[in-house]
Amino acid sequence: MEILPKGLQSFCLRGKVAAVTGGSRGIGLAVVKALAAAGADVAITYVSSDATHETARQVSQEFGVKCLAYKAEITDHVAIAGALNAIAKDYGKLDILVANAGISANGNTEDFDPDLFKRIHDVNVNGVFFTIQAGAKIMLKQGGGNIITMSSISASIVNRPQFQAAYNSSKAAVSMLTKCVATEWATRGVRVNAVCPGYVLTDMTNEFISKNEAMGKQWQELTPLKRFGTPEEIGGAVVWLASDASSYVVGAEITVDGGYSCW
């Protein structure tokens, strides 16, 4: 990595250890690469694709940092705590934790499958709670750390044209959880903030667009920038929040949405 100009050194993450849940693809993988590009050693947690070990090897090779993969289902508090403890042991510490993993679905509320509602809340709310609880235990013990949750503009706006009450209520919980723990841990050295992306082109959004192309066009039309975001465009916000350049930012929701939530 090139040496940063003097005024930009607070953005550097060299010497830091980061973990990213759901880091095998989409926004999570872009965040892994952005953290690695800023100099951090990174651990990826994944749930389904063992190919993540190869992804980690490639990240390590491309950015010259340590990068390993760990399997953990985030709704299983023992599993995610086990993975984060293993990361802290293997890397020597845990400075940055990005609670990125999440799922989405939409549909009319009156017909929405109750089990799917429970699953969305289990992954997006319980899973994020278990992740940040386990990460904070390590960080509070070691004397500090930095947690970033992946919320959404859906935490505070109602999407259209599709109905997604289950997803939006789960992301509202993520944003409030973020503010609660941010204030709880602020004076104990653990800084917590949320990133709220708008429509970003990933497997998650592609699943909707592949079934309804017109909806994808409408999402872009409703965005002042008139296009989807890329996963890479979320990485910069995470690096800033993870770095000392944002040292006075606590409990914030950083919106990265091409202007969507202005309208």
Ligand X SMILES: OC[C@@H](O)C(O)[C@H](O)CO
Q: What angle (nearest 5°) sits at the alpha carbon of residue 104, between those of residues 120 and 135?
A: 65
Is 91 among the residues known to form the active site? no
Site membership for ligand NAD, residue 73 (CB under 6 A): yes
Site membership for ligand X, residue 199 (CB under 6 A): yes
What count of Cα atoms within 13 Å lies in the side-chain half-sphere of residue 133?
Answer: 17
Q: The dihedral of CA 12, 15, 18, 23: what is its sign?
A: positive
- Give which of ligand X, ligand NAD, none residue 52 binds (C-beta under 5 to 8 Å, depending on kind): none
Contact string 5-44 vs ligand X (x = CB under 6 A)? ----------------------------------------
Q: Which of 24, 152, 243, 246 is catalytic?
A: 152
DSSP collapsed to 3 states, 100-125: CCCCCCCCCHHHCCHHHHHHHHHHHH
Is 248 among the residues known to form the active site? no
Near ligand NAD by CB under 6 A: residue from 16, 17, 18, 22: 22
Residue with tokens 């386990």: 134
Site membership for ligand X, residue 152 (CB under 6 A): yes
Near ligand X by CB under 6 A: residue from 21, 55, 131, 154: 154
- What CA–CA distance (Å, rounded) separates 74 from 83? 10
Residue with tokens 């400075």: 95
First to last CA, the chain: 40
Least Å distance, CB 222 to ligand NAD, is: 13
Least Å distance, CB 199 to ligand X, is: 5
- What CA–CA distance (Å, rounded) separates 16 from 51? 25
Site membership for ligand X, residue 159 (CB under 6 A): yes
Burial label, 237 (beta-carbon count in 10 A; 0-12, 13-18, 19+)? buried
At a CB cut-off of 8 Å and minimum separation 6, what does 138 contact?
Answer: 84, 85, 88, 93, 94, 145
Considering the complex, state which of residue 89 and residue 217 has its C-beta at the smaller distance from ligand X. 217
- Give which of ligand X, ligand NAD, none residue 75 binds (C-beta under 5 to 8 Å, depending on kind): ligand NAD
Considering the complex, state which of residue 12 and residue 174 has its C-beta at the smaller distance from ligand NAD. 174
Q: Residues with catalytic annotation?
A: 152, 167, 171
Binding footprint of ligand NAD on the chain (CB under 6 A): 21-22, 24-28, 47-48, 73-75, 100-104, 123, 127, 150, 152, 197, 199-200, 202-205
Binding footprint of ligand X on the chain (CB under 6 A): 104, 106, 152-154, 159, 164, 167, 198-199, 204-205
